[in-house]
Chains A and B, each alone.
Chain A
């Protein structure tokens, strides 16, 4: 019997501070088992949102227009920041503490941060879009500045002096002329509430009266305190969403349709009824789950369950081998109105040279390291879901609607989890656990199998791109024609009650699927004539498909940029120009810039990357030829060809330029990216060391997508279902050297309002193209189909005679 139950530490802490104390609670329960009752955990928040006493359920929405919803000052002169974001492992929680501590004037180590639990923190949307620092950092800074202002006013009143006579440092306020007059934040408001209203039309606009500090006055921002969450992750003490245990809990496992689009005809419950620990088979529509007392029993029962499924009348999709042919011949579901600049047709007609190429990127899975999971507790007429969902607020709203429960009786407690970089934007296990918990009347823990996750998780959409470029006689790029087709119809939203997989399988679907999107390249090149066309195509099976698309780390960016930045390299080669110089010429051909000086910062990044790498100006491929026995890049006539490639992109206002150096084995086709350089400009950097690691991880994730990742399927089902059939980057593939240059390319780098832009996803964008360009430089062979697995590279080398 389990004698242990764990709720998240931040909730325990909050309980200890305000609510019925954990100790009392433990005493009342008579055992070292915490029954996570609604009232107990509502405690801290009921207090913070005290003003209008909640008339309804135990989990009203925290009011972002109350300072108390954001900042708590404790009697011991420490502070807790409550932010409605989730940390996916990039250290955003640490960065928020730095930003807010700086504005509040309190030491970093006297602060803590609570994130993303829907009844405790205001709805800032959870995480996504690398917007945490860029967007949400602003209201956090402003409310912290406002708290500082209010505290100074309180001190002024206490000492009977104007606020400008006060000094503040490390959460202690003193009278300038008489430093013996001092008061701490904790003495002023510790354990009490501010009761200060904020303004703003939405949570991002939240503000008080105070202004944020100029950049020059920030002291904690720009330092690199270690991430507070890391010790618990290396000593085993952190409790993750997968680790939650509750009294009376049971375990569930799903049984998915064996073929995509199959209909459930019947279930033979007798196949599992006598198995040990069996509780129930739950099914509705095509959703099937087995519930058992113990985890291994549920796994076994899900394997043993006999069910009859009816094969769909038509194939749900083409095989992955035929995917791009299908996509290019399909009638688009949307798109077709290109964005046109200048007169591309005329420019192509009068061009000295026209280059055309097609680029293909397959579906790539999120393939989170740990499969989808959640625990749901249905006690006392409420529903608590313990989840690693990155958009916990969307999950809470979606589940409330899905179950037909009032929102204020449903909450999501966010906890750490394995990252899928967008997978939990459309998490499935939360809704499943909640549904099953309601059915069973006991806390239910759901966890998908590896094969289920890899086959049925959300996918980054496949792209088929066709590009044309026109060069004049001087090698100038005068026209650019870009067409991208994405297999992205019915792109999933955020845990919506009519798109989450359990709802789809139960037949609860919205009338009109999401249109989906393709993407255009993100660069600041001055090209006088352009046509940009983006189209979406649908596979035959739209609902209940394992090829359902969701937001995979920088959705669409790596696909579009693989095409565009590979093609720019092809154009550079056609113009007999150095790839860096060709790009610089396109960036300097105009002086027009945007409000964030993105063009100027693009130039700064490319320069910085080239300098850090030690770029030698020359035409690719290495010896100037294309393929052939005298192939370029060969070191000493051996089997290893070497080369380097550059690519660049921006995302929102964050700019990156990357250089990859590769070794290509001519005998095996194996590509090793030996060195990576990244020049990165995200404006004001909050935590440089944290940023470096985020950049490294993002680049290597894209490297995995470049070299290995592809969802494979026949015309009935996904066939890449585990780490053998769906390989991922390994330790053996790790570059020997990664150099990161943090660039501040702003024309006025010391301006006091230098913004902090987002970091993370931008680095995923150009990496695949940088690798492809390096392979071309080494071998003279252009790879236009991702991933660059050994067999594909070897075949390309052989067909080029390299």
Chain B
């Protein structure tokens, strides 16, 4: 076990865990940030996505000790009680079916829009391609991203 200091959603957190523990378990079980979900543990599906230093990162394959810089989880997007425009677009478009993947969809879209504020259809398809949804809400997700970005569908 080792004492590891993390910056998460603007706060400093100290956890006492094995350094190799994937960040996902620390967020969910030690820090009660359960927006990130376990989907595969292999970095293939995106359910566990958090943003670290602006990069959408799969927390299920990220060792806690390797984390440098600010971690943002889904809970951290709506700071100050106001939803992030993407979250609002998700509600406006009524995107989710079961909703279990939507943490990954929203966080991946956030990093995409931060990088490319006015994405083309192709950039959305490419940028989101590795973030899976088994309810297949892709059509609405893409509409919500365009809505949040203010680009016409």
A419 and B100 in contact, given A370-B47, A704-B136, A731-B129 (Cβ under 8 angstroms)? yes
B95-134, CB under 8 A of A: which get 1 and which 0? Answer: 1111111110010000000000000010011101111111
Determine if B40 is an interface residue (Cβ-Cβ < 8 Å). Answer: yes
Complex-state Cα separation, A299 to B38, whole angstroms: 13
B24-59, CB under 8 A of A: which get 1 and which 0? Answer: 010011101111011111101101000000000000
Complex-state Cα separation, A723 to B58, whole angstroms: 15
A689 and B94 in contact, given A370-B47, A697-B137, A735-B139 (Cβ under 8 angstroms)? yes
Question: Which secondary structure characterizes the binding site on chain B?
Answer: loop
Chain A residue numbers with a CB within 8 Å of B141 are: 731
A684-705, CB under 8 A of B: which get 1 and which 0? Answer: 0000011001101101110110
Q: Which residues of chain A (712-739) have a CB below 8 Å from chain B?
A: 722-724, 728-736, 738
Contacting pair A731 B138 (CB below 8 A): yes
Looking at the assembled complex, report how far the CB atom of B19 sits from the nearest CB atom of chain A, in whole angstroms: 11
Determine if A597 is an interface residue (Cβ-Cβ < 8 Å). Answer: no
Looking at the assembled complex, report how far the CB atom of B22 sits from the nearest CB atom of chain A, in whole angstroms: 7
> Which of these, A239, A245, A728, contacts B134 with CB under 8 Å?
A728
> Which of these, A235, A295, A296, A694, contacts B87 with CB under 8 Å?
A235
Contacting pair A236 B35 (CB below 8 A): yes
Chain B residue numbers with a CB within 8 Å of A242 are: 34, 37-38
A449 and B41 in contact, given A697-B97, A701-B135, A731-B138 (Cβ under 8 angstroms)? yes
Contacting pair B39 A450 (CB below 8 A): yes
> Which of these, B38, B99, B101, contacts A230 with CB under 8 Å?
B99
Complex-state Cα separation, A738 to B134, whole angstroms: 18
Contacting pair B132 A730 (CB below 8 A): yes
Determine if B71 is an interface residue (Cβ-Cβ < 8 Å). Answer: no
Looking at the assembled complex, report how far the CB atom of A411 sits from the nearest CB atom of chain B, in whole angstroms: 23
Complex-state Cα separation, A707 to B93, whole angstroms: 27
Looking at the assembled complex, report how far the CB atom of A610 sits from the nearest CB atom of chain B, in whole angstroms: 22
A700 and B87 in contact, given A4-B32, A234-B96, A731-B142 (Cβ under 8 angstroms)? no
Contacting pair A234 B95 (CB below 8 A): yes
Chain B residue numbers with a CB within 8 Å of A735 are: 139
Determine if A336 is an interface residue (Cβ-Cβ < 8 Å). Answer: no
Looking at the assembled complex, report how far the CB atom of A671 sits from the nearest CB atom of chain B, in whole angstroms: 16
A728 and B132 in contact, given A234-B95, A369-B101 (Cβ under 8 angstroms)? yes
Contacting pair A295 B106 (CB below 8 A): no
Chain A residue numbers with a CB within 8 Å of B91 are: 226, 230-231, 234
Contacting pair B134 A367 (CB below 8 A): yes
Contacting pair A417 B98 (CB below 8 A): yes
Looking at the assembled complex, report how far the CB atom of B48 sits from the nearest CB atom of chain A, in whole angstroms: 10
> Which of these, B18, B30, B90, B97, contacts A89 with CB under 8 Å?
B97
Determine if B21 is an interface residue (Cβ-Cβ < 8 Å). Answer: yes
Determine if A240 is an interface residue (Cβ-Cβ < 8 Å). Answer: yes
A196-238, CB under 8 A of B: which get 1 and which 0? Answer: 0000000000000000000000000000001101110111111
Contacting pair B75 A370 (CB below 8 A): no
Determine if A342 is an interface residue (Cβ-Cβ < 8 Å). Answer: no
> Which of these, B37, B87, B139, contacts A734 with CB under 8 Å?
B139
A403-424, CB under 8 A of B: which get 1 and which 0? Answer: 0000000000000111111000
Contacting pair B138 A700 (CB below 8 A): yes
Chain A residue nearest to B22 in the complex (CB): A296
Contacting pair A369 B138 (CB below 8 A): no
Contacting pair A418 B78 (CB below 8 A): no
Complex-state Cα separation, A231 to B84, whole angstroms: 12
> Which of these, A295, A732, A738, contacts B129 with CB under 8 Å?
A732
Chain A residue nearest to B45 in the complex (CB): A723
Chain A residue nearest to B101 in the complex (CB): A369
Contacting pair A235 B42 (CB below 8 A): no
Q: Which residues of chain A (75-106) have a CB below 8 Å from chain B?
A: 88-90
Chain A residue numbers with a CB within 8 Å of B139 are: 696, 700, 734-735, 738
Chain B residue numbers with a CB within 8 Å of A418 are: 37, 39, 98, 100-101, 134
Contacting pair A236 B133 (CB below 8 A): no
Number of interface residues of A (CB under 8 A): 64
Complex-state Cα separation, A227 to B97, whole angstroms: 10
Question: Which secondary structure characterizes the binding site on chain A?
Answer: loop
Contacting pair A236 B134 (CB below 8 A): no
> Which of these, A231, A233, A276, A368, contacts B18 with CB under 8 Å?
A276
Determine if A243 is an interface residue (Cβ-Cβ < 8 Å). Answer: yes
Determine if A591 is an interface residue (Cβ-Cβ < 8 Å). Answer: no
Chain B residue numbers with a CB within 8 Å of A295 are: 25, 29
Determine if B83 is an interface residue (Cβ-Cβ < 8 Å). Answer: yes
Complex-state Cα separation, A736 to B125, whole angstroms: 11
Contacting pair B39 A730 (CB below 8 A): no
Chain A residue numbers with a CB within 8 Å of B75 are: 235-237
Determine if A273 is an interface residue (Cβ-Cβ < 8 Å). Answer: no
A703 and B136 in contact, given A236-B73, A722-B44 (Cβ under 8 angstroms)? yes
Chain A residue numbers with a CB within 8 Å of B94 are: 226-227, 230, 689-690, 693
Complex-state Cα separation, A240 to B36, whole angstroms: 11
Complex-state Cα separation, A690 to B94, whole angstroms: 8
Complex-state Cα separation, A45 to B47, whole angstroms: 35
- Point out which of A230, A236, A299 has the most chain B C-beta atoms below 10 A from its C-beta: A236
Determine if A23 is an interface residue (Cβ-Cβ < 8 Å). Answer: no
Chain B residue numbers with a CB within 8 Å of A703 are: 136
Determine if A337 is an interface residue (Cβ-Cβ < 8 Å). Answer: no
Chain A residue numbers with a CB within 8 Å of B45 are: 369, 450, 723
Contacting pair A89 B99 (CB below 8 A): yes
Chain A residue numbers with a CB within 8 Å of B1 are: 276
Looking at the assembled complex, report how far the CB atom of A402 sits from the nearest CB atom of chain B, in whole angstroms: 26
Q: Which residues of chain B (45-89) have a CB below 8 Å from chain A?
A: 45, 47, 73-75, 77-78, 83, 87
Complex-state Cα separation, A689 to B141, whole angstroms: 15
Complex-state Cα separation, A370 to B102, whole angstroms: 12
Complex-state Cα separation, A762 to B40, whole angstroms: 29
Determine if B147 is an interface residue (Cβ-Cβ < 8 Å). Answer: no
Contacting pair B39 A370 (CB below 8 A): yes
Determine if A329 is an interface residue (Cβ-Cβ < 8 Å). Answer: no
Determine if B140 is an interface residue (Cβ-Cβ < 8 Å). Answer: yes
A235 and B125 in contact, given A242-B37, A689-B94 (Cβ under 8 angstroms)? no
Chain A residue numbers with a CB within 8 Å of B135 are: 89, 369, 419, 697, 701
Contacting pair B129 A370 (CB below 8 A): no
Determine if A447 is an interface residue (Cβ-Cβ < 8 Å). Answer: yes
Chain B residue numbers with a CB within 8 Å of A233 are: 96, 99, 102
Chain A residue nearest to B88 in the complex (CB): A234
Contacting pair B90 A230 (CB below 8 A): yes
Chain A residue numbers with a CB within 8 Å of B125 are: 731-732, 734
Looking at the assembled complex, report how far the CB atom of A485 sits from the nearest CB atom of chain B, in whole angstroms: 28
Contacting pair B38 A701 (CB below 8 A): no
Contacting pair A447 B38 (CB below 8 A): yes
Determine if A294 is an interface residue (Cβ-Cβ < 8 Å). Answer: yes
Chain A residue numbers with a CB within 8 Å of B44 are: 450, 722-724
Determine if A274 is an interface residue (Cβ-Cβ < 8 Å). Answer: no
Chain B residue numbers with a CB within 8 Å of A731 are: 124-125, 128-129, 131, 138, 141-142
Chain B residue nearest to A4 in the complex (CB): B32
16 contacts between A and B (CB under 8 A): A88-B98, A90-B97, A230-B91, A233-B99, A234-B91, A235-B75, A369-B101, A370-B37, A370-B47, A418-B37, A419-B100, A694-B97, A697-B136, A701-B136, A731-B142, A734-B142
17 additional A-B pairs beyond A230-B91, A450-B39, A450-B41, beta carbons within 8 Å, are A4-B32, A226-B91, A233-B102, A234-B87, A235-B78, A236-B73, A296-B22, A369-B132, A418-B39, A418-B100, A418-B101, A449-B41, A693-B140, A722-B40, A732-B126, A733-B138, A736-B121
| Nearest 7 Cβ contacts at the A-B interface | A236-B35, A700-B136, A89-B98, A233-B99, A418-B100, A89-B97, A419-B98
